[in-house]
Amino acid sequence: MSIQAILRCTPRQVFAGAMLGAAILLTGCASTPPPTSQLAVAQQAVNSADTARSAEFAPLELRTAREKLLQAEQANLEKKYDRARYLAEQAEWDARVAERKAQAEKAKQGLQSAEQGTRELREESLRRVQ
Residues 107, 92: Cα–Cα separation, whole Å: 23
- 41-71 in b/e burial notation, b at 16+ Cβ within 10 A? bbbebbeebbebbbeebbeebbebbbebbeb
pLDDT in tens, 18-43: 566 665 655 444 578 999 999 999 99
Same domain, 47 and 88: yes
Instruction: Judge if pTM exceeds 0.85.
Output: no
Same domain, 25 and 43: no
pLDDT for the residue numbered 100: 96
Average pLDDT of 6-15? 61
Q: What are the backbone angles phi and psi of residue 58, rounded to the nearest 5°?
A: -145, 60
pLDDT in tens, 40-93: 999 999 999 999 999 999 999 999 999 999 999 999 999 999 999 999 999 999
Answer whether 19's CB lies under 8 Å from 13's CB: no
pLDDT for the residue numbered 102: 94
Mean pLDDT taken over the chain: 85
Same domain, 59 and 40: yes
Angle at 84 between CA 81 and CA 87, to 5 degrees: 150
Same domain, 69 and 16: no
Instruction: Note down the domain range covering 42.
Output: 35-129
Residues 66, 53: Cα–Cα separation, whole Å: 14
Answer whether 98's CB lies under 8 Å from 65's CB: yes
Answer whether 87's CB lies under 8 Å from 72's CB: yes
Same domain, 11 and 55: no
pLDDT for the residue numbered 60: 96
* Residues, the chain: 130
Same domain, 76 and 45: yes
Same domain, 56 and 21: no
